A and B are shown apart, each in its own frame.
Chain A
C-alpha cells in the first residue's frame, strides 16, 4: 500500500461524512445543506479527477481497509475503469447538487434531500471502487435504499406508488445478487473479487459460473433496467424530483447496474461467448423496445425515462461485443448518456419549475420565454439522437462500426434504426414544448434562477465538446485505461493480487 492509494477511501468518506453532518447540524446552521451538498460533490469531483492521474502513474492501486491485507480484509481497487466511472458519477453529481440549490427551494425538507443525495453518492462511489463482492452488495443496497426514499420524496400519490414498485423490484434484484455471492463464496471460500477470479481459474466450475452469471444478469439487470427487467424505471424516474431523476437515469442505473455487471462478468467470472451473446441480445432488445415505447409518450419525463432504457441498450450492446472497439463505444456512450440524459431531465425540471406541467400537449413556444432551457435542451436532444458533431454521434458511430467489424450486421442495423427513432421522438419534444406559438397560459413564464441555468449550461458545453475526448492523447487517458481494464478480462486478478504483495 502506497501513500497515494491512502487517498482512495476519501472518495467514499467525504460524501458519507457530508450526509451525516447535514443530518446532525442542519438546525443550527441554516444554509448548511446547500453548502455542504455542493462542497462534498465538488471534493468528490476533484478526487475523481485526481484518480485519473493516479491510474496514469500506476494502473492498479489497492487500499486495504483497516490495514487487513486482502483477500482477508476488504480491498478498495482503483483501476482505469473505476477512475472512468468515478469521473462520470461525480461530475454529474456536482452539476445536480448545484441545480438542486435553487430547484429544491419548493420542497420543505431540503436537508433530508441533500443528506439522502450524498448517501446515494457515497454508495455509488463505493460500489465503483470496491474490490470485495460483499462490500459491493452492502453499498449497492445503501445507494438503492437512499434512491427508494428519494423517489418517494414528493410523497404524492404517484410518487409513493412508483417508489413502492421500485423498492419491491429492487429488493428482488438484490436478493438474486446476494444468492450469486453466496454460491461463489461456497465454491471459492473467498469474497475478494480478484481472489475469486484466481480460484475459479485454478479449478474451473463452468456450470456454477454460468448459473451465477445468470443470477448476476438478472440482479444487476434489474438495477440497470434492461428489458425485460425494466418495468419499474418508467414509473420511478419521472416520479422523483427532477435532480433525482437526473441522478437516477444519468448515473445510478450505470453505477449499480452496468458497471457492477461488467466488472463481475468480465473481470471475475470471465466473459464467455454465451454470456456475450446474452448481453448483446438484451442490449439490442432494450434499445429497440425502449425507443418504441418512448415515442408514444406525452409526459415529458416519462418519455425521457423510456429513452434511458433504450440508451442503456446501446451501452450493453457495445460492451457485450467484447472487442476493444466495442468496449470503447460502450463506455464512451455510457459517459455521454450520463451527460445528456441528466441535462434533459434537468431541462424537464426547469420547465416544470416554470410552468408547473410535464404534459407536452399543454406546452408550446417556451423557447421565447426560456431561451437558456430551450437551447440547452436542443443541444441535448441532438446529442441523444446522434447528430454530428455532438458527443452522442461519436459513441453511437463507434458502436455501429464495432458491430459491423464483429460481423453482427443485424445489431448494427437495429442500432441505426433506434437512433433514427430517437431523433423523431426528440423532434416531437422540441416541437411541442419549445417551438411554435407561445400558449396564452405561458405569457408570464420566467427563465429559471441562476444556479439551475449554470448547471444546465455546463452540461450542454460538455455535450458539445464531448467528441474531443476521442482525440489521441486525451483518448488514452480517459477512455483507454477503462477499456484496458475491461478488456484484460480475468487478468484483473493477477494485477490486483500482485499489487497486494
Chain B
C-alpha cells in the first residue's frame, strides 16, 4: 500500500514539474518522471512476494498461485519504448527551439498566444 502511495506521489511530482518549471529540459524531465511513475505502478501491481518466473516446462511443477503475472512486465516494456520515442522527439524539438531562440526559458519562447 505504501508503495502505491509513493507511486502516486511520484506522479504528482512529475506533473508539478511539468506545470511549474520554466525550463524546457526540466519540463521534459517532469514528463519522464510521470511516465516512470505509471510504469513502476504497473510493475508493482503484479508483484508477488517470493513469486516464481512463470515458465511452464515439462520437468517443472505448474503452480499458478506462486507465479508472477508476466503480462504487466511485457506491457511496461512496450510503454517504456513508447516513452522513449516520445521523449526523443520532444528533446529534438527542444534542441531546435534552442537553435531558434537561444534559450530554454519558456517565458521567452512565447510567440503564440490569444
Chain A residues proximal to chain B, CB less than 8 Å = 134, 138, 141, 145, 148-149, 152, 155, 157-158, 160-165, 167-168, 171-172, 174-175, 178-179, 182, 185-186, 189, 191, 235, 239, 296-297, 302
Partner of B111, one of A141, A152, A161: A161
Q: Which of A157, A161, A175 touches B38 (beta carbons < 8 Å)? A: A175
Nearest CB in chain B: distance from A304 CB, A: 15
Additional pairs, 19, CB under 8 Å, beyond known A164-B93, A297-B114: A141-B85, A145-B86, A145-B89, A152-B96, A161-B97, A163-B93, A164-B94, A164-B97, A168-B18, A168-B31, A168-B90, A171-B31, A171-B35, A172-B31, A175-B11, A178-B42, A182-B41, A182-B72, A296-B114
Contacting A at CB under 8 A, from B30-44, are: 31, 34-35, 38, 41-42
Q: Is the CB of B41 within 8 A of A167?
A: no
* Contact yes or no, A182 B93, CB < 8 A: no
Near A by CB (< 8 A), chain B positions 68-114 give 69, 71-72, 75, 78-79, 82, 85-86, 89-90, 93-94, 96-97, 100-101, 109-112, 114
- The residue that A134 contacts in the complex, of B75, B101, B109, with Cβ under 8 A, is B75
Q: Which residues of B contact A296 (CB under 8 A)?
A: 114
Which residues of A have CB within 8 Å of B41? 179, 182
Q: How many residues of B contact A (CB 8 A)?
A: 34
Question: Which residues of B are found within 8 Å of A149, using beta-carbon distances?
Answer: 89
A297 to B97, CA, bound (A): 26
Please classify the interface of chain B as helix (H, G, I), strand (E, B), loop, or mixed, using the class held by over half of its residues: helix
Q: A172-B34, A175-B35, A182-B38 are in contact. Are A157 and B111 (CB under 8 A)?
A: yes
- Chain B 1-32 interface residues, beta-carbon cutoff 8 Å to A: 11, 15, 18, 24, 27, 31
Please indicate the chain A residues that have their CB under 8 angstroms from the CB of B109 in the complex.
161
B45 contacts chain A at the CB level, 8 A cutoff: yes
Please list the residues of chain B having a beta carbon within 8 angstroms of any beta carbon in chain A: 11, 15, 18, 24, 27, 31, 34-35, 38, 41-42, 45, 69, 71-72, 75, 78-79, 82, 85-86, 89-90, 93-94, 96-97, 100-101, 109-112, 114
* Residues from chain B with Cβ under 8 Å of A141 in the complex: 82, 85-86
Alpha-carbon separation in the docked complex, A168 to B24 (Å): 10
Complex: chain A residue closest to B43, CB-CB: A182
- Minimal beta-carbon separation of A489 from chain B (angstroms): 27
Contact assessment for B101 and A157 in the assembled complex, using a CB-CB cutoff below 8 Å: yes
Most A-side CB within 10 Å, residue of B18, B69, B85, B112:
B112
Query: Which of these, B15, B18, B78, B93, contacts A160 with CB under 8 Å?
Result: B93
- Best-buried of A141, A157, A182, A186 by chain B (most CB within 10 Å): A182
Is B112 a contact of A167 with CB atoms below 8 Å?
no
Residues of chain B within 8 A (CB-CB) of A165 are 112
Q: Shortest Cβ distance from A450 into chain B, in angstroms?
A: 34
Q: Report yes or no: B89 in contact with A148, Cβ–Cβ below 8 A.
A: yes
Collect the chain A residues with CB atoms within 8 Å of residue B42's CB. Answer: 178, 182, 185
When distances are taken between beta carbons in the complex, the residues of chain B under 8 Å from A186 are 45
Q: Are B45 and A182 in contact (CB under 8 A)?
A: yes
Per the bound structure, the CA–CA distance linking A171 and B89 in Å amounts to: 11
B82 x A138 contact (CB < 8 A): yes
Q: Is the CB of A171 within 8 A of B86?
A: yes
